[in-house]
Amino acid sequence: MTEAKSVAVIGSLNIDYFTRVESLPAPGETVCSDSLDIFRGGKGANQAIAASRQGSEIIFIGTVGNDEHGKKYLKELAKEGIDTSHIETVKGSTGTAFITVDRSGENMIVISSGANSTLTREQVKAKTKQISSAGAVLGQFEVPLPAIVEGARIANQNEVPVIINPSPVEKTFPWQEIRTDYLLVNEHEAGEVLGFNPWDEELSLVRQRLHELRVENLIVTRGGDDTLVYNRGDEVISIPTLAVLPIDTVGAGDAFAGCFAARIASGEKLEDALAAANCAGALTTLGAGAQNPVPDRERVDQHLEHLSQSS
Ligand code: RIB
C-alpha cells in the first residue's frame, strides 16, 4: 500500500498564445497563420496539474501578475483542486508564451517571463514547513534559479526526493550545491547538461559525470521511443512508452514530469512511476494545449493495464 504525499512544485505560470504555420519562420522572415488559440500553460503549472490529476495534493510556489490573466489563472487552478495560497500576486503581467508549431509538429517558443521572474529564494524559504513534509519537490527553469536551489536545499535536508526538469536549459545552474534525485531531460537537454550524449559514451563516463553533478538518476525521454535511466546500476534501464499518433506535443514533457513526481511522492518504484509517466506524456499529445489533454490517474492506469496484458 502506498502513502499519498504532496508534491511541492516551484515553477512558472504562463498564458500560451498558440499558432500553427506551414513552416517555422527563418530569422528576419514573416509567415502568416490563420489560427490562434489561447491556453493556460507554463511548465510549473502544467506539471502541477499533471501531478494533481494523478491524485497528489499540490503545494504550488509561484507568482502571477495582478492582471486579468493572473486572477483568472488562480480561479482555474482552484477548480482543479490546487491550493493557490502559496502563489503570490505581484504588480505587472502574468508570464506569456508565444508558441508556433509547424506542419511536422516542430515548435518554437518565446517566453516573456513577466511575474515568473520575480519569484525569490526568500519566498521559497518561507515555505520550508510545506516542502519538508512533501513527498517530492519538482522544479523547472522558467523561474529564477535561486528559488529552485533553495527548494532543493530544503528538500535535501529533509530527505524529500528532488526532481529537476532543467527546461529551458540554463548553463549556470549550480548542480554541485544540491543533490538531484531525479533529473528529467529530453535528448537535447541531456547533451546540454552533461556536455555529451550519454548514449554515445561508456556507462562508466556517464556515471562519473552524474557523480560530479550530484545526480542520482538521469531520466531521458525520447518522444515515441523508450525512456532511458542512467544511475549507479550496471545497466541502462529502458522503459517502453505508449504508441500514439501525436497531434500536439507541447506539454507532453510536463505531463510526464508531473505524473512521475506524483507517483514517486506516493512511494511507487522507479520503473512503475516511469511507465505511468510515459503513458501520461503520450496521452497528452492527443489533444491541443498543454493542460486540457493531461490524463487523470484512472485513464493512465487503464492504459498501463492494457500495456501489461499485451506484453
Ligand atoms: O512545456 C510547455 C510550456 O512551455 C508551455 O505551456 C509554455 O508556457 C512554456 O512554458
Rounded Cα–Cα distance for residues 177 and 174 (Å):
6
Estimate the crossing angle of helix 252-265 against helix 270-284, to 10 degrees: 150
Residue 104 DSSP label: T
Q: Which atom of ligand 1 is nearest to the CA of 39?
A: 6
Confidence of residue 112 (pLDDT cuts 50, 70, 90): very high
Q: Which atom of ligand 1 is nearest to the CA of 291?
A: 6
Count CA atoms within 13 Å of residue 152 on its CB side: 28
% of the chain residues with pLDDT over 70: 98
pLDDT at 143 over 80: yes
Q: How high does pLDDT run on average in the chain?
A: 96
What are the phi and psi torsion angles at 260 (to 5°)?
-60, -45
Q: Is 43 in the pocket of ligand 1 (CB under 6 A)?
A: yes
Average pLDDT over residues 274-287: 96
Rounded Cα–Cα distance for residues 156 and 66 (Å):
33
Per-residue pLDDT tens for 193-229?
999 999 999 999 999 999 999 999 999 999 999 999 9
Ligand 1 centre to CA of 306 (Å) is 30
Per-residue pLDDT tens for 36-68?
999 999 999 999 999 999 999 999 999 999 999
3-class DSSP state of 288: coil
Q: Residue 156 belongs to what H/E stretch?
A: helix 145-157
Cell numbers of 174, please?
549550480
Q: Is 97 in the pocket of ligand 1 (CB under 6 A)?
A: yes
User: For residue 30, is it left (φ>0), alpha (ψ between -120 and 50) or beta?
Assistant: beta
Q: For a pocket test of ligand 1, which of 18, 117, 250 has the largest count of ligand atoms closer than 8 A to its C-beta?
A: 250
Contact criterion met (CB below 8 Å) for 12 and 95: yes
Rounded Cα–Cα distance for residues 88 and 29 (Å):
38
The better pLDDT of the pair 162, 309 is held by 162
pLDDT at 3 over 70: no
Confidence of residue 307 (pLDDT cuts 50, 70, 90): confident
Ligand 1 centre to CA of 199 (Å) is 27
Rounded Cα–Cα distance for residues 230 and 238 (Å):
9
Omega of the bond prior to 161 within 30 degrees of 0, cis? Answer: no
Class of the 7-13+43-93+116-310 domain? alpha beta
Residue nearest ligand 1's atom 10 by CA: 42
Cell numbers of 277, please?
509517466
Indicate the pTM of the whole model. Answer: 0.97
Rounded Cα–Cα distance for residues 1 and 163 (Å):
23
Predicted pLDDT at 1: 42
